[in-house]
Amino acid sequence: MNLLRNLSTRAKMFSLVVLMAIFLCSIGITGYFHVKVSGERMQAMYEEQLLPVKWINDWRQDIRAIDGLIYKMILDPAPAVFAQYKAELDQRIASADQTFRYLQNSRLDEKEQERVSKLKELLEQYSKDQNEVVQLIKENKTDQAYAYYRATDKTLSWINQEQLEWANYKSSQADRMQQQNWDDSKKAVLLLLIVGGASIVLAGGLGFL
């Protein structure tokens, strides 16, 4: 302490500048890493949780559209209309398959991998059933087609349930990550306040010496 008192004014000013520079660097580095980590987490949340939720919702819409088109084909099996519905049906099936591939290629935990396996089985059965319905419609066996179509309700219900539970699971993961980001932000702000306060106290103390 006596050593500091014996320093010249120029030396004290230099020490003060160095001290403030150190604290400012500490604040800057802390802020930088917090922003960097937060940005990485937000990107991960989008790619791993929010984007898959969008895919699942798009996929559900395609599945509902497929079911609706099959029903329309049963109600109006005229060749011209059938061809139009069939073309739209093929597009929806291709879109649904592509979206499901996106989901399978995304980052999945063990629970989600099990869900994917279950959905594959359900979708395979559903596809076979719908192909049979379409074939019956082609053969003008609309009564049999409708009966077969109604028999697929249970499989479709299971698919919808799995999709909904998957979307909710992804949403809950995003909520947890967002809460973690919020908690870390509060810790970072507190650290910045502590460092800033300490720099003011030390700088003030040095100034009185």
Here the CATH number for the domain that contains residue 197 is: 1.20.120.1730
pLDDT of residue 158: 96
Share of the chain above pLDDT 90, in %: 46
Q: What is the mean pLDDT of the chain?
A: 80
How far apart are the C-alpha atoms of 72 and 53, rounded to whole Å?
29
Q: How far is CA 181 from CA 28, 40, 167, 170, 200, in A?
A: 19, 10, 21, 17, 28
User: With 90 as the cut, is the pLDDT of residue 127 above it?
Assistant: yes
- Mean pLDDT across the stretch 55-68? 94
Query: Could you tell me which residue, 202 or 207, shows the higher pLDDT?
Result: 202
pLDDT bucket at 84, cuts 50 / 70 / 90 = very high
- Mean pLDDT across the stretch 19-46? 63
Report pLDDT digits (tens) over 2-24. Answer: 444 555 566 656 666 666 677 66
pLDDT of residue 41: 58
Query: Could you tell me which residue, 38 or 151, shows the higher pLDDT?
Result: 151
Supply the range of the domain harboring residue 176: 2-208
pLDDT of residue 4: 47
pLDDT bucket at 90, cuts 50 / 70 / 90 = very high
pLDDT of residue 50: 75
pLDDT of residue 195: 66
- Mean pLDDT across the stretch 141-156? 92
Share of the chain above pLDDT 70, in %: 63
DSSP per-residue codes, 158-180:
HHHHHHHHHHHHHHHHHHHHHHH
The total of structural domains in the chain comes to 1
Can you give the pTM of this predicted structure? 0.67
**CB burial of residue 163 (10 Å; 0-12, 13-18, 19+):** buried
The one-letter amino acid code at 16 reads L
- Mean pLDDT across the stretch 124-141? 93
pLDDT of residue 1: 46
DSSP label of 6: T
pLDDT bucket at 147, cuts 50 / 70 / 90 = very high
